[in-house]
Amino acid sequence: MSDRSRAGRISMGVWRRLRRAWLRMRFPNAQWGRGCDIRLGLRLALAPRGRLRLGEEVVFERDATLECGGELSIGDRCIFGHHCTVAAKESIEIGHDCLIAEMVSIRDHDHAFDDFDVPIRDQGSTCAPVRIGNNVWLAARVVVVKGVTIGDGAIVGAGAVVTKDVPSGAIAVGVPARVVKMRPGAPPAQ
Ligand SMILES: CC(C)(COP(=O)(O)OP(=O)(O)OC[C@H]1O[C@@H](n2cnc3c(N)ncnc32)[C@H](O)[C@@H]1OP(=O)(O)O)[C@@H](O)C(=O)NCCC(=O)NCCS
């Protein structure tokens, strides 16, 4: 049943509060900030040692996937479009006021593949923390791979694959993502 048809019977605000209450009961070791709005279809894999923190008024549009084996922290007022994936085996930190468009993937790990004679699926993972600052816009279908830091106020264009750090205030596009310009008024890249 869609959010809209449920809302025909109970108001959207009540429905969202009920959903938050259910999430708090179902995942007691997660922190759900006040006013979070988690739409239908959330797939949440939260390990017993995982620490998931969502700030206030975070919105996840429908069919989000969150995996948290370590630390996953999302700041206040971040908005995630539909079908986003955020997967932290060790550590992902996202600041406040970020706009994450639809189908974005953010992961802090890859499959390990050093041994050619062993199936990749049996080789475990390699991890490196991902840091995304405040007020960052990741456009549709951006992929952020392990070990990347994206500075405050940066923009990453649609379809980019971010394999290296993006400085504050930069606009980066392409595969792999490269800085094409700085936002007007942004401090010069260091
Ligand atoms: C990144 C973006 C914001 C840049 O906008 P802009 O400042 O107007 O950038 P420009 O059009 O001046 O582009 C600068 C250069 O980057 C290239 N470019 C822009 N966006 C690109 C993208 N997504 N992928 C590859 N190249 C891109 C342009 O072709 C141009 O190259 P050139 O100088 O060789 O001609 C915009 O292109 C974009 O990707 N928007 C995303 C829309 C979206 O996903 N919305 C989701 C809703 S939240």
Q: What backbone phi and psi angles, to 5 degrees, belong to 150?
A: -115, 120
**Closest by Cα among 55, 150, 114 to 160:** 150
Catalytic annotation, pick one of 82, 83, 109, 111: 111
Residue nearest to atom 45 of ligand 1 (CA): 139
CB distance 54 to ligand 1 below 6 Å = no
**155-189 tens-digit pLDDT:** 999 999 999 999 999 999 999 999 999 999 998 77
Do residues 138 and 144 lie in contact, with contact meaning Cβ atoms separated by under 8 Å? yes
Q: Residue 2 has what pLDDT?
A: 62
**40-50 tens-digit pLDDT:** 899 999 999 99
**57-113 tens-digit pLDDT:** 999 999 999 999 999 999 999 999 999 999 999 999 999 999 999 999 999 999 999
Residue nearest to atom 4 of ligand 1 (CA): 157
111 is catalytic: yes
Sheet holding 79-80, edge to edge: 37-38, 59-60, 79-80, 99-100, 137-138, 155-156, 170-173, 178-182
Percent of the chain whose predicted confidence (pLDDT) is above 70? 95
Task: Please compute the mean of the pLDDT values over residues 123-151 and round it to a whole number.
Answer: 98
Residue nearest to atom 5 of ligand 1 (CA): 157
**107-116 tens-digit pLDDT:** 999 999 999 9
Determine if residue 63 is left, alpha or beta; phi over 0 gives left, psi from -120 to 50 gives alpha, anything else beta.
Answer: left
Task: Please compute the mean of the pLDDT values over residues 3-16 and round it to a whole number.
Answer: 71
pTM, two decimal places: 0.93
